[in-house]
Amino acid sequence: MLARANRVVRADDFRMVVRRGRRSVTPSAIYYRLERDSGDPLRVGIIVTRSVGNAVDRNLVRRRYRALGREFVEAGAHGNDVVVRALPGAAQRSWVSLADDMHTALDAPLLAEAVRP
């Protein structure tokens, strides 16, 4: 579970990230990233709609993305809000392919800032 400080919770925050954030598209999801103050923690929000599958599939996808978001937090990423919108094929994709997609879309912008002194 992500700590509350590391979650996008309010609907207004989700809306702002989706409307103003940079978008990256992969076969499994659309990632929106909005830069904030560099001292703020990384916040991750996850959107999984009914088009992804039944409740079991949606919860599986949500848990996987939450765990991947926790990896970024533990790696030291900060100063961004990230919203992940799962696409319909996400439930049929393996953990490895979801992780590869997320790291491809977000590694450079998020972790480059974490490494800077």
Give the residue with greater pLDDT, 111 vs 100: 100
Tally of structural domains, the chain? 1
CATH number of the domain enclosing 55: 3.30.230.10
If you average pLDDT over residues 76-99, what whole number do you get?
93
pTM of the model: 0.87
Phi-psi region of 9 (alpha: psi -120 to 50; beta: other; left: phi over 0): alpha
pLDDT tens, residue by residue, 23-52: 999 999 999 999 998 888 999 999 999 999
If you average pLDDT over residues 2-11, what whole number do you get?
92
pLDDT tens, residue by residue, 42-82: 999 999 999 999 999 999 999 999 999 999 899 888 889 99
pLDDT for 109: 66
Structural domain containing residue 83: 4-115
Per-residue pLDDT for 112 more than 60?
no
Per-residue pLDDT for 116 more than 60?
no
If you average pLDDT over residues 94-109, what whole number do you get?
87
At 59, which helix (H) or strand (E)?
Answer: helix 55-74
